[in-house]
Amino acid sequence: MKASVDPDLCTGCELCVDTCPEVFEMNGDVATAKKGPVPADAEDAAKEAAESCPAEAITIKE
């Protein structure tokens, strides 16, 4: 599973970072997904972050 954040859509609310810091981090005013696959123990939190994103900026691919 891989996560990505569209920087053009991200509003920098930090909800994803709060929900799943294992996968998401802030890079200036926008969130980014850390490189590499989503750790198995963080998959549910990453999906929750994507579903909760108010800007719908997060994509999770299997």
The domain spans of the chain are 2-61
Q: How confident is the model at residue 53 (pLDDT cuts 50, 70, 90)?
A: very high
CATH of 2-61, one of 3.30.70.20, 3.30.70.1730, 1.10.10.10, 1.10.3470.10: 3.30.70.20
Q: Residues 9-51: pLDDT tens digits?
A: 999 999 999 999 999 999 999 999 999 999 999 999 999 999 9
Whole-Å CA distances, 51 to 17, 28, 58, 60: 13, 22, 8, 10
Give the pTM. Answer: 0.95
